[in-house]
Structure formats: C-alpha cells, structure tokens
Structure 1
Amino acid sequence: MQASAILSDLVGFPSVCGTPNGPIVDYVRGYLAFHGIPSQIVSGPEGDRFNLFATIGPADQPGYILSGHMDVVSAEGQAWSTDPFRLSLDNGRYFGRGATDMKGFLACVLATVPEYAAMDLARPVHIAFSYDEESGCRGVKHLLRSLGPLCHPPAGCIVGEPSDMRPVLSHKGKISLALSFQGRAGHSSNPAQGENAIYPAAELIGFVRAQADRLAQEGPFDATFEPAFSTMQVGTVLGGTAVNIIPDRCVVELEIRAIPGHDPVQAGATVLAFADSLAEAAHARGGTLQIRHEETSSYPPLAPNPDPALAELLTRLTGLAPQQSVSYGTEAGLYQQAGIPAIICGPGSITRAHRANEYILDSELDACTAMLRGLGIHLQRH
C-alpha cells in the first residue's frame, strides 16, 4: 500500500489523546501480521490504551527504533473546511487531523514494512508506536520500561515528529503542574471567618514570576534555543464563586520548559517546596489551608548526542544538514534518558500541527519513505 492510502486509514481513527485506542492498534497489528511481522502490545495502567512494538530483522542485534505516537489532539472548537477524521486531497495536500502530527510518519513506516520484510537485514528495524504523547508522553514511558525483553539494546531511535525532514538534535524538557488551594468559605462581610484560597495562590504566582525573571537574567543559557533560557509561566487561574463569598478554592496551572542540562522536574520541585511553605505558614497562624498538586505533563530535554554517528546517518539519508534545536517537545528525550541515542526526523511542518485544516504534502510523504528505505539499505547485509 502507498503511504497515502495507509494515512487515509489512520486518519479515519479518531484516536484523540486520553481516549481508548484499541481500534487503531488493531489496525496496525493486522497490517503487520498480513506482512508476516508479529507485534507486541504493551498496555498502560488505564486499561484501554496500548503501545505497540514490532521487530523486523534479527532481534539479537543492535538496530534502530522508528518511534511515533498514534494519538492526536482534539479537533473540537476548530473551524475545519473538511471532516478532520476523513483524509481529503486538494492540490497535493492531504488534509486531516494528525496528517502531520504524526500519522504521516506512521503511514510512511507502515508503507515501508513490505520492503523491510523482503530485505536481508543484518540489524533490525524496530517499530514503536505509543499512546497519549499529546498529554505528556504518557504511553511511551510504559513501553520503555518493558523494552529490555523485547530487543537487544538499540543503536538509536528516530522519532518521526514533523521536522521538514531535517534531523533535529535537541529540544527543551517540560513539566506541567496543577496546584489546588483549599481554604474555607465564608461571607465576605467578615473575612476573618473564612480562609481565602486565592491569596496564597497569588503568592505562588508571584514566586513563579520571580523565578522566571531570575532564569531570564541569570540562566543557565543555551544560545541554540529561542529563548536561550528555561522558562516558567502560569497559564490558568481558577478560583472563587462570587464577590461576596470568601473563596475556598483556587487552582493554578503552570508549566516549566527547561533547556538541556536543567532538570524541569527539579525546577518544579522548587515551586512545590514554596507551596509547602505557604501551607506551613497558614497552619502556624491557625489556618487549615491545604495545597495539593498534580503533575499533568512531564518529559526530559533532548540533549545533542556527543557521538555524531546517528546525526551523520540521518544527514546522509535525508541529504539535509541537522538543525540544532526546536521549541517543541517529543518522546526523544525519554529514549535518550533510557540510554538510547535519539534524534527527531519526520515529514511535515510543526507549524501545521494542532491547527484546523492540518495537512501534509504528498512530496513530504515521498521524502520520508525514501529516508526509511535508505535506512533499510544501510542495515542490509553486504
């Protein structure tokens, strides 16, 4: 099958992150089985979402992982000109949710499977398709924990996020936190009878802003990124019910994006420690303030690999010079954290991702398929 035909099938599955993904997993498993390729399912704790892993070639040799996620962001509230879950073609552009991010890459991988199966591979190609990448790289973490028995330690991982087919060496890491402040309601005519949850939330917001200013002024810095420092910001604040009621609850959502070498989890721990100090101060005054937190997203930065072998291979396969860094995040940092050299290289432009009328070019699918075919030739016995 051509990549475009497979893409049409994949787009037809509304595999929105946070929802069951059994149908699209069954489709991929069936396709692989038709070509004689067995696959393994690695379930997540949700019970209705699954990662998929398959190997073509000798599993006892160090090969390359082709990594992509099967989930997409929602199309709700967007003004699409066509049905987002039905691929449509117009003047060389394939429109559909996930066409670029990143079912286009998945389609190219699957379209190349028959060629891989016919090759005499000295080293294997591994296919690793994950779930819920769009909500914090949730699925691949379970896949990586199960990888040991599935294959020999891989030589590298190609994460096919849209990069205009340029190999990308690094990206920032991220953590998102939701902090819930629980105070005590009361009538606003006597504030002392309640405990205003918005006030400590405001103190935390001020702390986050001060930390963000410090990072901008003092670093650490990495000139390959724009901006060249880690960032921290509050994105949403929700609290109170009426102006004459002392608010007993406030929720603050924030994110931290960290350059390589700066751990976003540790930066988040600084914020949580400040929150703990606010609760302790409230209790010392006789209050009952409770502050709970939830990590809603987390993935590490991707740092440039000190060994240039993977970047040199992708440069040779694509004919394009590497790009030092990108502003978006991927699963590549998690592969690197697991000890697997990782690089980003995939069809389409990130500028089209998550938007209405998302599309990928027929020529971009062809370029990706050519790169993947070249990888197979590189891994053949000579």
Structure 2
Amino acid sequence: MQTTEILERLIAFPSVVGTPNGAIVGWVRDYLESHGARVHVLDGPEGDRANLFATIGPADVPGYVLSGHTDVVPAGEPEWTSDPFRLRAEGSRLFGRGTSDMKGFLAAVLAAVPEIAAAPLARPIHFAFSYDEEAGCRGVPHMLAKLPELCAAPAGTIIGEPSNMRAILAHKGKAAARVTIGGRSGHSSRPDLGLNAVHAMASILMAAVEEAERLTQGPFDAAFEPSYSSLQVGTISGGQAVNIIPDRCVAELEARAIAGVDPTALLAPVKTAANALSSRGFAVDWIETSSYPALSLAADAPLAALLTELTATPPLAAVSYGTEAGLFQAAGIDAIICGPGDIGRAHKPDEFILIEELQSCRAMIGALAARCRA
C-alpha cells in the first residue's frame, strides 16, 4: 500500500483521545502481521484502549524504535471545510484530523514495512504506537513498563511528532493538575452563612500568578522559547447565579519545565495554597491530570549523529511543546523527535500535511532500514 492510501485508512478511524481505539489498533496489527512482524497488543488499565508494540528483525539485540500515537484531538470546530475524518486532497496538501499530528508519520512508517521486512536485519526495527498521548502521554508509560519483556534495550527511539523532518534534541516537561474547591451555598445576601468557593479560589490563583512571575527570573536555558519554565491557570469555572453563594469552583493549571527541572515541583506552591483552604472549612481536591519529563539529548549523542545523517540536516536544539520522548529517555532509552508535518498546523481546523513531507519521512525510514540490514 502507498503512504497516502494508508493515511486515508488511518484518518478514517475517529480515534479521538480518551475514547476506545480497538479499531485502529486492530487494523495496524493485521497489517503488520501480514508482513511478518511480531505484534503485541498491550491493553491499558482503562480496558478499552491499547498500545501496540511490534518488531521486525532479531528482538534480542539493540535496535531502533519508531514511535507515534494513534489518538488525535477532537475535530468539532465549525471551521472545517470538509469531513475531518475523511482524507481530502487538494494539490500537494492532504487534509484531515491527525494528518500532521501524527498519523502522517504512522502512515509513512507502515508504508515502509514491506521494504523493512524484505531483507534480513542485523538490528531490529520496532514500532511503538501509543494511546492518549494528547491527554498528557497517559498510554505510553504502560508500554514502557512492558518493554524489557519484549526486546533488548533499544539503541534509540525516533518520536515522529511533526517537526518538518528536522530532528529535535530537547523539549520541555509538563505537569498539569485540576483543583476543586468545595464551599457552602446560600443566598448572596447572607455571605456570613456560606463559604464562597470562587472567592477561596482567588488565593490559589494568586499563588499561581506569583509563581509564574517568579519563574521568569530563571533558571534559564537559551535553547527554549521562552528560556525559562512557565506556569499558568488555563480554565476556571464555578457558581450558578450571581445571587447564589458558589459552593464549588474548579481550576485547571499546568507547568512547563526546562530540562533539569521537575515540572511537578513547579506546581507545589499552588498546591500548598490550595491545601491551606482546608483550615477555613473548604473541601480541597487536587488531582494531577498528567505529567511527563523534559527531553534533553546531548548534541554529540550517537542518535543525534544518526538523524543528522538520515535527514542531511543538523538537529534543532529544542522546542517548547512536549512529547513522549522524555518518557523514553527517563526509561533509559535515548530519544529524538523527527517527523513529517508542522506543529503549527496541528490541533486546528483543516489540518493538513504535504505529500512531499510524507515522501521525505518515508525516505528517512528506508535509510534507517538500510543501516540495520545484515
């Protein structure tokens, strides 16, 4: 099958983050097995989602992992000019949800499978397709935990997030949390008889603002934009009507950390402010919704040299968005980002990828396969 044909099949699966992905995983499993790959479908604890890990070549020697996620963000924006789950071609552009992020990479990988399988490999090529990446990389940790049972420690992982086919050495880490404050409702004319959860949230918001300002003072890493870690409150909701004391308020916040900084630790001052409300009679519920570490691959690492050779372009130092690469590195596996498409087109109506970008990715994978042959 050609890359575009495979991409058309993949886009047709509405594998939105947080929903069952059995259909797309089943199709990929059948395709890989038809070309002789050894495939493992690894069910997640949710019960309706799974990671997929497959191998071509000898699994008992170090090889390379081609890694991507099967999930996409929702496509409910009214600005779409065609069905987001039906691939549409317009010149060299291919439109559809997930074309850039990141089913284009998956399609290029799968299109290369017949070539990879055609000649004996001295070193294996693995395929690691995860779920719920768009919800904070929730699926891949379960796959990484199983990896020692499935293969020898890999020599490196290529994370195919959209990077215009330029390798990327580093990205920021992230931690996100949801805090819920429970108060006591009543008529707004008697605030002395209630506990205003929205007012109480103000101290948490102030702590977040103060911490965000403090982070602008460093530490710094010039590879990133901005060069410092950051924190923000992204959503807040609470209350029913202006004349009712609100008994519930919910806020979601995130921290993004430069390499060497624990993103979860950046949320600690805000969590402390939230917990302090308990002594005033408020119920406090703090839930960490996602967390993944930063990626920091040395510029002189063998994997960086390999990608420079495969792409004929020196790597980019860093990006500020996050990927699963940091989790692979935390598991002891060198990781680098390199994939077709542009992150600027992702998560938008009329998301698209260029045919030449898919061709470039397909050529890179073919070159990697040639390096792994016996």
**What interval of TM-score do these two structures reach, taking the shorter chain for normalisation?**
over 0.9
TM normalised by structure 1 equals: 0.96
TM normalised by structure 2 equals: 0.98
Alignment of 1:53-132 (within 5 A): 53-132=53-132
| Mapped contact 2:157–2:334 kept (Cα < 8 A) | yes
Alignment of 1:7-86 (within 5 A): 7-86=7-86
Flag the 1:379–1:163 CA change in 2: closer, same or farther, 3 A. same
- Aligned sequence identity (%): 57
Partner of residue 297, structure 1: 290
1:312 maps onto 2:338 in alignment: no
1:337 maps onto 2:330 in alignment: yes
Alpha-carbon separation, structure 2, partners of 1:211 and 1:255:
12
Alignment of 1:200-211 (within 5 A): 200-211=200-211
Counterpart secondary structure, 2:336: strand
Alpha-carbon separation, structure 2, partners of 1:230 and 1:327:
10
Alpha-carbon separation, structure 2, partners of 1:278 and 1:307:
49
State the one-letter code of the partner of 2:188.
S
1:378 maps onto 2:371 in alignment: yes
Partner of residue 356, structure 1: 349
Counterpart secondary structure, 1:257: strand
Partner of residue 141, structure 1: 141
User: Which stretch of the first structure deviates more once superposed, 123-132 or 72-81?
Assistant: 72-81
**Over aligned residues, Cα RMSD in angstroms?**
1.0
Structure 1, gaps ≥5 residues long: 283-287
State the one-letter code of the partner of 1:365.
L
State the 1:335 CA deviation: 0.3
Counterpart secondary structure, 1:101: helix
Partner of residue 239, structure 1: 238
Over 4 Å off, 4+ runs: none
| Mapped contact 1:220–1:262 kept (Cα < 8 A) | no
Alpha-carbon separation, structure 1, partners of 2:78 and 2:215:
35
Counterpart secondary structure, 2:339: coil
| Mapped contact 1:70–1:102 kept (Cα < 8 A) | yes
Q: How many residues in Structure 1 have an aligned counterpart in Structure 2?
A: 374
1:172 maps onto 2:172 in alignment: yes
| Mapped contact 1:172–1:329 kept (Cα < 8 A) | yes
Alpha-carbon separation, structure 2, partners of 1:19 and 1:89:
27
Partner of residue 273, structure 2: 274
1:256 maps onto 2:249 in alignment: no
State the 1:145 CA deviation: 0.9
State the 1:307 CA deviation: 4.9
Structure 2, gaps ≥5 residues long: none
Q: What are the Cα deviations for residues 66-100 of structure 1, in whole angstroms up to 9, with x where unaligned?
A: 00000001110241111111111111111111111
State the 1:306 CA deviation: 6.4
